[in-house]
Amino acid sequence: MLLVPGYNPVMAMLLEITGIRHAYNGRRVLDEFSLALARGQIGCVLGPSGCGKTTALRCIAGFERISAGRIELNGGEVSRPGHATPPEQRRIGMVFQDYALFPHLTVAGNVGFGLRHLDPQGRARRVGETLELIGMTRAAGRYPHELSGGQQQRVALARALAPQPQLLLLDEPFSNLDVDLRERLGLEVRDILKQQDMTAILVTHDQQDAFAIADEIGIMSRGRIEQWGTPYDLYHRPATRFVADFVGQGAFLPGTVLPDSHIRLELGVFQGSVPSDWPHGIVVDVLLRPDDILHDDASPLQAQVLHKAFRGAEFLYTLQLPGGGRVMSLVPSHHNHAIGEKIGIRLEIDHLVAFRHETAGDSGAPVPRD
Q: Is 147 helix (H, G, I), strand (E, B) or coil?
A: coil
Do the domain assignments include residue 277?
yes
**Domain boundary residue among 191, 214, 241?**
241
Do the domain assignments include residue 98?
no
Give me the mean pLDDT over the 118-136 stretch. 94
Do the domain assignments include residue 108?
no
> Does residue 304 share a domain with residue 329?
yes
pLDDT tens readout for residues 337-368: 999 999 999 998 887 899 988 754 444 444 43
Instruction: Measure CA 80 to chain center.
Output: 27
Report whether pLDDT(119) > 70.
Answer: yes
Do the domain assignments include residue 137?
no
Give the span between the Cα atoms of 189 and 208, in whole angstroms: 14
Residue 118 near residue 164, CB atoms below 8 Å:
no
> Does residue 330 share a domain with residue 190?
no
CATH code for the domain of 263: 2.40.50.140
Do the domain assignments include residue 160?
no
> Does residue 60 share a domain with residue 30?
yes
pLDDT tens readout for residues 302-328: 999 999 999 999 999 999 999 899 999
Do the domain assignments include residue 142?
no
End-to-end CA distance of the chain: 36
DSSP state of 248: S
> Does residue 351 share a domain with residue 270?
yes
> Does residue 335 share a domain with residue 202?
no
Q: Which residues pair with residue 22 across a beta bridge?
A: 30
pLDDT tens readout for residues 161-181: 999 999 999 999 888 788 778
Q: Residue 11 has what pLDDT?
A: 60
Cβ atoms within 10 Å of 23's Cβ, excluding its own: 15
* Residue 340 burial (C-beta neighbours within 10 Å; 0-12, 13-18, 19+): exposed
**77-100: b or e for each residue (b if 16 or more CB lie within 10 Å)?**
ebbbeeebeeeeebebbbbebebe
**Domain boundary residue among 205, 221, 241?**
241
Count structural domains, the chain.
2
**Domain boundary residue among 207, 241, 275?**
241
Pick the more confident residue, 261 or 284.
Answer: 284
pLDDT tens readout for residues 68-109: 999 999 999 999 999 999 999 999 999 988 888 999 999 999
What one-letter code names the amino acid at 351?
A: H
Average pLDDT over the chain, rounded to an integer: 90
> Does residue 184 share a domain with residue 83?
yes
Q: Residue 328 has what pLDDT?
A: 96
Do the domain assignments include residue 187?
yes
> Does residue 320 share a domain with residue 197?
no
DSSP state of 146: G
Give the span between the Cα atoms of 345 and 299, in whole angstroms: 6
Q: Residue 164 has what pLDDT?
A: 94
Report whether pLDDT(336) > 90.
Answer: yes
Model confidence band, residue 4 (pLDDT cutoffs 50, 70, 90): low
> Does residue 318 share a domain with residue 279?
yes
CATH code for the domain of 36: 3.40.50.300
- H or E element that contains 350: none
Quote the domain boundaries for residue 268: 251-359
> Does residue 170 share a domain with residue 280?
no
Model confidence band, residue 130 (pLDDT cutoffs 50, 70, 90): very high
Give the span between the Cα atoms of 208 and 165, in whole angstroms: 26
Give the span between the Cα atoms of 368 and 103, in whole angstroms: 41
Question: What pTM was estimated for this model as a whole?
Answer: 0.86
Report whether pLDDT(369) > 60.
Answer: no
> Does residue 305 share a domain with residue 281?
yes
